[in-house]
């Protein structure tokens, strides 16, 4: 527990009262409608989390709507998800993001000169759902569908700093401790051993002159998928189309909102599924690391005009590895004092592999610095003014057609 403030406002949970905050949201729901967005894969209806999440959302009567951004392979899986959500009493919309009806609209958009057909996955699904949600919402919050430690306070904490008139933040990021209390194990490997040491190494490399890097370092857990934002901000920022989604989104918020309008909130302990490391650099966590690294390099060029060349990359790699190894010593001390299961050798091996992937990522970026960014919704609306309405109608069509 700490009370430290960062470059961005940190909202700690010293004694946040569930009844008080939810009562406040109830009073604000008509003036500032709230939509909860849940991106998900079909397989997640068979997980251990989603039933509990639905039960708790049913008690969250301050919500205007829930939007499920679904990726499903065929209509039978779509129908199964539709039936699964039939007990969700809050008004909800299921958008079959890779279904034929939505893909037809994507093709229409391409005919208007805006081609997003090369995108797939969570980034594209989030983009689609944000567009639909922005039609009738003041605030939009998003979280994943695999949260084991879900509670009524989680979405409430994401919304409150956005909709409370005395605060009126434009963007609010969730953070939490990635500790499995039952297994007494520390997770968050990509943040602990990749992102945090990489950001600090790049800060050192740039002689602490980059405000963008200082901003990213101010977030206690930049890789969380939980955030809230205003609809106005949602339609004015680009969305990354790869595994760099969370870091890329923070970069877009940095470009689109003043720091005093950005906050982060303590979501306490948090447990969800853990990704596999992967056997090569194009799958699992290693693929995620490549995309995150490229996203950071790309934004260092866009925001700070830093030249990412071979010499810069080689020295940054040396600084990164040293910083990551220092982190291992620190986390070992933390784990030992808290009685957590922790293997310094396993973490050292992971840093070796992460170092290799960061080097590959940097070389690939130098060869091809272009990125996968979905356009902001302002541009999509300019290309086809009724795109959001068509996507909303597509969701309704699918809901009434597939049985």
pLDDT along the chain (403 residues), means of 10: 90 95 98 98 94 96 97 97 97 98 98 95 96 98 93 97 97 91 90 97 95 97 96 96 90 96 90 53 77 95 94 97 97 96 96 96 93 93 98 98 94
Q: Which of 148, 136, 139, 67 is nearest to 102 (CA)?
A: 67
> Which tens digits make up the pLDDT trace of 210-264?
999 999 999 999 999 999 999 999 999 999 988 889 999 999 999 999 999 999 9
Does the residue 2 lie in any domain?
no
Measured distance CA(126)–CA(326) in Å, rounded:
36
CATH code (residue 23): 3.90.550.10
Residue 288 contacts residue 243 (beta carbons within 8 Å): yes
Task: Give this prediction's pTM.
Answer: 0.94
pLDDT of res. 274: 47
> Which tens digits make up the pLDDT trace of 299-318?
999 999 999 999 999 999 99
Helix (H, G, I), strand (E, B) or coil at 376: coil
For tokens 């849940």, name the residue. 38
Does the residue 4 lie in any domain?
no
Does the residue 139 lie in any domain?
yes
Number of domains in the chain: 1
Does the residue 256 lie in any domain?
yes
What's the farthest any 2 CA atoms get from each other in the chain?
60
Does the residue 1 lie in any domain?
no
Does the residue 117 lie in any domain?
yes
pLDDT of res. 269: 72
Which domain range does residue 381 map to?
9-401
Neighbours of 322 (CB within 10 A): 13
pLDDT of res. 127: 97
Does the residue 3 lie in any domain?
no
């Amino acid at each position: 527990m700490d009370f430290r403030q960062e470059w961005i406002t940190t909202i700690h949970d010293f004694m946040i009262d569930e009844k008080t905050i939810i009562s406040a949201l109830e009073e604000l729901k008509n003036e500032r409608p709230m939509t909860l967005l849940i991106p998900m894969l079909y397989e997640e209806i068979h997980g251990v989390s989603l039933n509990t999440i639905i039960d708790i959302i049913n008690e969250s009567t301050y919500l205007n709507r829930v939007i499920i951004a679904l990726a499903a392979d065929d209509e039978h899986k779509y129908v199964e998800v539709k039936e699964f959500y039939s007990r969700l009493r809050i008004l909800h919309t299921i958008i079959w993001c890779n279904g034929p009806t939505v893909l037809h609209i994507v093709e229409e958009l391409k005919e208007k000169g805006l081609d997003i057909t090369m995108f797939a996955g969570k980034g594209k699904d989030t983009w689609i759902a944000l567009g639909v949600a922005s039609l009738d919402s003041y605030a939009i919050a998003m979280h994943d569908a695999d949260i084991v430690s879900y509670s009524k306070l989680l979405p409430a904490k994401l919304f409150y700093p956005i909709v409370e008139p005395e605060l009126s933040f434009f963007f609010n990021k969730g953070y939490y401790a990635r500790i499995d209390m039952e297994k007494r194990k520390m997770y968050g490997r990509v943040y602990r051993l990749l992102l945090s040491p990489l950001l600090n190494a790049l800060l050192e490399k740039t002689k602490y002159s980059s405000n963008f890097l200082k901003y990213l370092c101010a977030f206690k857990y930049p890789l969380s998928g939980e955030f809230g934002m205003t609809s106005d901000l949602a339609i004015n920022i680009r969305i990354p189309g790869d595994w760099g989604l969370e870091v890329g989104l923070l970069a877009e918020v940095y470009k689109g909102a003043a720091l005093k309008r950005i906050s982060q909130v303590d979501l306490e302990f948090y447990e969800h599924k853990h990704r596999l490391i992967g056997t090569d650099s194009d799958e699992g966590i290693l693929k995620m690391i490549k995309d995150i690294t490229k996203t950071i390099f790309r934004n260092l060029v866009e925001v700070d005009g830093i030249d990412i060349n071979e010499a810069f990359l080689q020295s940054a790699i040396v600084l990164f590895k040293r910083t990551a190894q220092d982190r291992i010593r620190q986390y070992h001390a933390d784990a030992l004092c808290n009685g957590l299961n922790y293997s310094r050798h396993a973490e050292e091996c992971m840093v070796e592999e992460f170092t290799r992937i960061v080097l590959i990522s940097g070389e690939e970026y130098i060869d091809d610095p272009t990125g996968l960014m979905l356009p902001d919704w302002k541009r999509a609306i300019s290309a086809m003014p009724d795109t959001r309405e068509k996507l909303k109608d597509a969701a309704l069509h699918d809901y009434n057609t597939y049985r």
